[in-house]
Structure 1
Amino acid sequence: MAHAELTEVAAGEVNQPPRRRSFLVALESLLGTLVEIPAAVLVVAEIVILFAGVVARYVLLQPLIWSDELASILFLWLAMLGAAVAFRRAEHMRMTAVVANARPAMRAYLDLVATCAALAFLVMIAWPSWEYAYEESYITTPALQILNSWRAAALPVGIALMALFALLRLARAGNVRTVLAAIASVAAVIAAFWLLKGALKPLGNLNLIIFFVGVAGFCVFAGVPIAFGFGLATYGYLALTTSTPLMVLVGRMDEGMSHLILLSVPLFVFLGLLIEMTGMARAMVAFLASLLGHVRGGLHYVLVGAMYLVSGISGSKAADMAAVAPVLFPEMKARGAKPGDLVALLAATGAQTETIPPSLVLITIGSVTGVSIAALFTGGLLPGVVLAITLSALVWWRYRGENLSHVTRASGAEILKALIVALPALALPFVIRYAVVEGIATATEVSTIGIVYAFIVGFFIYGLLIYRNFDWRRIVPMLVETASLSGAILLIIGAATGMAWGLTQSGFSRALAAAMTGLPGGSASFIAVSILAFVILGSVLEGIPAIVLFGPLLFPIARTVGVHEVHYAMIIILAMGIGLFAPPFGVGYYAACAIGRVDPAEGIRPIWGYMLALLIGLVIVAIFPWISIGFL
């Protein structure tokens, strides 16, 4: 995503006066620091407040009635400041498959168009967000007895900061002609839609195609960050075809971003970074390697198993891959594995582990559909095992002739030592799952327990006794990274919630329900169509926005046609995972290539075999509901 900034600079650096450029860079850096520091502090504050609530409730038996309310107030500020940090760092999720194949000059132009489109949305939504914050001043919070506008003010502040960073990016681009061309292009499209306002209203539901397919699709493929593409489509639909006050859109965005269950998103992201930094993931991988490193394809089995275990801790695919790949890849390459095959398997295991709790996608489904998160956490374990088996079968076939004459089998003493070293790390995913499934703590609360556990174990056991690599200087960058990634995710959820509300109000959900329930073949056809749809959606939108957009529409239909909601959740999550990690559009595949430092072209051929193995596993999960719901 920093690629966008580099391209902009490359396109126009020659026309940029050095003194002016250095001033703009210094100004942006200063403003960035002023936003990053409070964002990092808010992550720490959320951890402390929620863990204090857990201790007060379960240890002291004196619950803090204000803890959840204060956490909710700070959460919206964390989301919006995190979104501003992500905007400044060019880390908002976007599809770059089309843009990346353009010529350098066109790529620079499209990157500036993406910035201008995002700026246009921010400018148009600024006043409605201010109105919304003012209206919230008439509401007083029940526990703390403060005006709710203190919480809602995060929306206009975050929007203003993102707009400011967008302006600085445009000013820093340097090539005035390209900048003006990008601004003129976006302004011309907005003006054309505004002039056609009178002709759009009589079109009725055809506007759904124009805005939610045409505008949103064009924005996504043009490289506009997904959250802003969704926002532009919804804003245009409401402003040009309905009489709905635009403040309602801000309210729906606030509603989507403010579910307290989503507070587990930044906490699990930070937990994933923490276990990677402390060496806990390294210990788990070393133990698995001591068990299987001597068999043909052994380290590939270790990669599959390690991703399963690590996914149970971090909930973030990028964190999972970053924790496992650097530990395994050097030895796997030394044994003759091709880099393309390694990133192909890494991407496939990313898709395989999407259902492993505490997956952020599981938490999102529970938030937007009302399905029990404890049930989702229980149901997600076996589907991941089924896909691990199908991947392992392909690994066995591909590496059945591997030469291991130079590999020494680990002795019993070495395996025992590796187990002892890994035990504190291996315990963490089981503690997390047990606490949620048994109802001891919510998904949000258990994330704070995991962080405290990982911090103590990582510092005292791995940091001081075993690896001695605990680096306090990495804590602040990790907190900033947590805020940035969380802000990017939460802004997408907010924008997708607004789009889903617009679709629902238009009557689209009723038409979709009628069409899906009327499919010949009943539940089998419904599941087949859902798999196809979510493979496509996963490749374009990634998992979370697709779930927020279509989950509230499709889960009631699933219940109507007799599909258990947990079983349906597993099917669509795995389908989205296949789309997310499948080239040429799946951004997860390119993330795997970036983490493995491998040219994406090298993994294109080997990954299709793994995708086929995943698809076979998905079909098995779909045919046998017991795999998902047998232990509920």
Structure 2
Amino acid sequence: MTALTASTSEAPAAVPEYGRNTVFGRWLNRLLSSTEWLSGIVLAVDVCVVFISVIYRYFLHDPVDWAEEAASALMVLLVFFGAASLLGRSQHLGVDVLRGLLPSRWQPLLIHMGHWIIASVSASLCISSFLLLADSYSQTTPSGLPGWINVYPIVIGSLFMTLFAIANALNGATYLVVGSFLTSAAMAAGVFAWNTFLPEYSLTPGVLLCVGFVGGLALGMPICFVLALSSLLFFLAEPSLPMLVYSQQVLAGTGHFVLLSIPFFVVAGLLMESNGMSSRLIELLLRLFGRVRGGLGLITILATAFFSGVSGSKLADIAAVGGVLMPAVRKTGEDPNETAALLACSAVMAETIPPCVNMIIMGFVANISIAGLFLAGIVPAIVLALSLGIVAVIYGRKIDSARAFAQRRRWLPLLGGALVALIMVGMIGKGVTSGVATSTEVSAFAVVYALVVGWLAFRELTVRSVARLFVQAASMSGGILFIVACASSVSYALSLEQIPDLLSGTMLAIANHYGATLFLLVSVLIMTVFGAVLEGAPALIIFGPLLVPVAQQLGINPLHFGTVMVVAMGLGLFAPPVGLGLFATCAITGTQLRAVAPAMLKYLLVLCIALIVLVLVPSFSLWLPNHYGL
């Protein structure tokens, strides 16, 4: 029921069969592999640039003026090459629940129509970026670099996306390939003819944006291309906008230095998993708490909270915890469905534990202090963790932790390994809360620490494994940030349609009639629903900038509002039946949704009650920020 096809804990999949017996197929496979490795190299270089910049600034007191701009330019390359490689492997995240409601005999045709539409969107982005490239030659960046350095990545990346999308569309029976192409072309021609020959009844840009959004979801397309299609239709139908504005707005969502913390924290989390930090910590927790009633559930909650404080990515957290914990669950005879259910709900709890990616995105799009959001999320996460822990103890039992390990580590090395990991978490927390460094700079330090100290302590990393890890992290990060980029173009289109003013007026009317509390509860409901339908980042990017100004007009602290919005988004993301995060959890843990969903109900009920308490009691979110003067 989801387009997610690979576990995040694995290295990049084997090269796909793009037709190994044809020259074009072999060339395309080599292009895909080269794109993946290049994006991994770019990510590694970006880490080095930021880390060296931090060293020069804080220790040598000689800041490198061009470092931030160069790092941002490299990130643009990372985004579009990473997104292209994910498209080549068909691993972009998407939900096909709406398509599943249609007759099964239609499914193959609809899937191939989605491929052709993705190819059309990619080609349109490529054409638009060529126009933007021509315009960029007369411009320079603030530090004097040529303006085209930020445009070439989107040109090349969108070209690669087009090639991979066409290859995906051609991969099928001839009648499906031809039939889906003709059907898609006929629909496009029909819309064009309608607007051309019936101008008085023409479909407005806003209507086409909505049609593209709903239609893309109905076809089960990846979320990023649903957003890209929606904004593309808007720009094509809006006569006052030149085509280059489309790629310009997509590009505008990527070149921000603060967003670099997302791939850096993802790398740090994957390094912890690969260098043995995660397995040592979970073994320590199992041996300490295994014989406590509900100990396995408590370990799941604690381990998820811990890794959320390092990787920042929920999929990386689930992969790190589930990949190590689930074998132990099965060896001790525990129910894997119960553990998977609690793991998914623990991911909701961990949404506000710094340095969560979605907190970074929320702060970026809504202009809220990211350091303040990090602090505001800690106490709510503790409240949610305690709530889940109580339920886990009530429904849990004691386990024999000795059965979980074929060979147990000695206590001293085990404690030392856990200490190394705890120091890393403390370093991240102190760096962010002290204000000494930005979240991006702290994340670069976390990568270097996990790489150097982890290798020195455990000697479990090799040059090849680290290289493949950077490739994997680049693809994951490219997928996340490409969603941000496409959602940026949708936000621009919505602003031109004056949707923010309309939503602001509606929500203010609700607040004026029923109070700010009902506004908060309605906002939570909106974010929960769209967190399930859209995936986390797009829901925050679209609704964050719309709702935060209204909340501020009503006297609601933006740190409190941002925190409860992220929790609500996480609740939708992991809730059955359509939450994309739940599908990812089931894929990683080797469980089935129909078996996990009933086990989740008691945990979801507790999370909903705790979320309402967090909404009604702002002091949970504001105590720490007030204590630190944020």
- Tell me the TM-score normalized by structure 2: 0.91
Alignment of 1:224-303 (within 5 A): 224-303=221-300
Measure how far apart 1:417 and its partner are.
Answer: 6.1
Matches within 5 A, 1:133-532: 133-143=133-143, 145-171=144-170, 173-198=171-196, 208=206, 210-399=207-396, 402=397, 404=399, 418-463=414-459, 469-519=460-510, 520-532=513-525
SS at match of 1:478: helix
Are 2:624 and 1:627 equivalent residues in the alignment? no
Say if 1:610 and 1:203 are closer, same or farther in 2 by CA, change over 3 A. Answer: farther
Alpha-carbon distance in 1 for matches of 2:203, 2:167: 39
User: In the aligned structure 2, how far is the partner of 1:293 from the partner of 1:488?
Assistant: 37
Change in Cα spacing, 1:344 to 1:24, as seen in structure 2 (3 Å) is farther
Give the AA of the match of 1:426.
L
1:134-166: CA deviation from partner (whole Å, max 9, x where unpaired): 2111112343x3311122111111111100111
Between 1:148-157 and 1:89-98, the stretch displaced more is 89-98
Distance 1:513 1:427, change over 3 A: same
Q: 1:75 to 1:408 in 2, by over 3 A?
A: closer
Q: Distance in 1 between matches of 2:19 and 2:147?
A: 44
- Cα pair distance change 1:500/1:404, threshold 3 Å: closer
In structure 2, do the counterparts of structure 1 residues 189 and 585 end up closer, same or farther at CA, with 3 Å as the change threshold?
Answer: same
- Give the drift of 1:405: 7.5
Q: Which amino acid aligns with 2:474?
A: A
CA RMSD of aligned residues (A): 2.6
Alpha carbons 1:283, 1:425 under 8 Å: kept: no
Q: Which residue of 1 aligns with 2:14?
A: none
Q: What amino acid maps onto 2:250 in structure 1?
A: M
- AA in 1 matched with 2:151: A
1:252–1:501 Cα contact (<8 Å) kept: yes
Using the TM superposition, name which of 94-103 and 354-363 deviates more. Answer: 94-103
Matching residue's letter, 2:506: A
Provide the residue aligned with 2:65 in structure 1. Answer: 65
* 2:548 paired with 1:555: yes
Q: State the partner residue of 1:9.
A: none
Instruction: Could you tell me which runs of 5 or more consecutive residues in structure 2 were left unpaired when the two chains were aligned.
Output: 7-16, 626-630
1:219-256 per-residue CA deviation (whole Å, 9 max, x = no partner) reads 02311111211121112123224422222222111111
Residues 1:30 and 1:103: Cα distance change in structure 2 (over 3 Å): farther
Cα gap change, 1:20/1:266 in structure 2, threshold over 3 Å: closer, same or farther? closer
Counterpart residue identity of residue 139, structure 1: Q
- Sort the Cα spacing of 1:18 and 1:378 in 2 relative to 1 into closer, same or farther, 3 A: closer
Over 3 Å counting, the alpha-carbon distance change for 1:201 and 1:323 in structure 2 is: farther
Q: Which residue of 2 aligns with 1:12?
A: none
- Corresponding letter in the other structure for 2:265: F
Distance in 2, matches of 1:476 and 1:432, equals 24
**Is 472-481 or 510-519 further displaced after alignment?**
472-481
> 2:9 matched to which residue of 1?
none
- What amino acid is the match of 2:156? V
The range that moved more, 540-549 or 183-192, is 183-192
Contact 1:114 1:222 in 2 (8 A): yes
Alpha-carbon distance in structure 1 between the residues aligned to 2:435 and 2:402: 46
Deviation per CA, 1:306-351, whole angstroms, max 9, x where unpaired?
1001100000111111111132223333444212111111111111
- Mapped to 1, the partners of 2:101 and 2:27 lie a distance apart of 32
Q: CA deviation at 1:207?
A: 5.2
Q: Which amino acid aligns with 2:487?
A: A
SS in 2 for 1:196: helix
Residue in 1 that maps onto 2:97? 97
Q: In structure 2, what is the Cα distance between the partners aligned to 1:430 and 1:470? A: 23
The answer on 1:609 being equivalent to 2:608 is no
Per the TM alignment, residue 261 of structure 1 is displaced from its structure 2 partner at its CA by 0.7
CA contact (8 A) 1:299 1:328 kept: no
1:82 aligns with 2:82: yes
Aligned to 2:113: 113
Alignment partner, residue 628 of structure 2: none
Q: Residue 125 in 1 paired to residue 122 in 2?
A: no
Q: TM-score, normalised by structure 1?
A: 0.91
Tell me how far apart the structure 2 counterparts of residues 53 and 18 of structure 1 sit (CA, whole Å). Answer: 41
Count, aligned residues: 609
Query: SS of the counterpart of 1:243?
Result: coil
**Aligned partner letter, 2:620:** I
Farther off after superposition, 43-52 or 149-158: 149-158
Deviation at 1:403, TM superposition (A): 5.4
Gaps of at least 5 residues in structure 1 are 6-16, 464-468
Question: In structure 1, what is the Cα distance between the partners aligned to 2:423 and 2:102?
Answer: 48
8 A Cα contact 2:18 2:167, kept in partner: no
Q: Is the 8 A contact 2:194 2:202 kept in 1?
A: no
Query: Are the structure 2 counterparts of residues 162 and 404 from structure 1 closer, same or farther at C-alpha, using a change threshold of 3 Å?
Result: closer
CA distance in 1, matches of 2:404, 2:166: 59
